[in-house]
């Protein structure tokens, strides 16, 4: 992973955690954003919050969290 990908500065790409899931991941067209919907869950906990007990989301599941995995 490029270190610039995980930065949270404006204009940089932030890669969500590999365990973040959204229902669109299972049925969207190849050109659609797989995280476009609002219903997120963690594959590790199977809940809408991660192992650190914080809420899951496209912007929330980032490198600043202790449970984040690229």
pLDDT per residue over 12-69, tens digit each? Answer: 668 899 999 988 877 766 676 767 778 899 999 999 999 999 999 989 999 999 999 9
Greater confidence, 4 or 33? 33
Whole-number Å distance between alpha carbons of 70 and 14: 10
Does the pLDDT at position 3 exceed 50?
no
Quick one: pLDDT at residue 34? 67
What contacts 62, CB < 8 A, 6 or more positions away?
A: 6, 8, 14, 16, 17, 68
Quick one: pLDDT at residue 24? 81
**Tokens, residue 14:** 């932030």
Domain positions in the chain are 1-70
Task: Let me know how long the chain is.
Answer: 70
Quick one: pLDDT at residue 36? 72
Dump strand ranges (E) for 1-70: 20-22, 40-42
* pTM, 2 dp: 0.70
């Amino acid at each position: 992973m490029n270190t610039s990908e995980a930065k949270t500065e404006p204009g940089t790409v932030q890669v969500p955690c590999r365990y973040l899931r959204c229902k669109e991941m299972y049925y969207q067209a190849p050109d659609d954003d797989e995280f476009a919907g609002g219903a997120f869950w963690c594959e590790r906990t199977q809940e809408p919050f991660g192992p650190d007990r914080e809420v899951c989301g496209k912007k929330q599941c980032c490198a600043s969290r202790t449970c984040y995995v690229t």
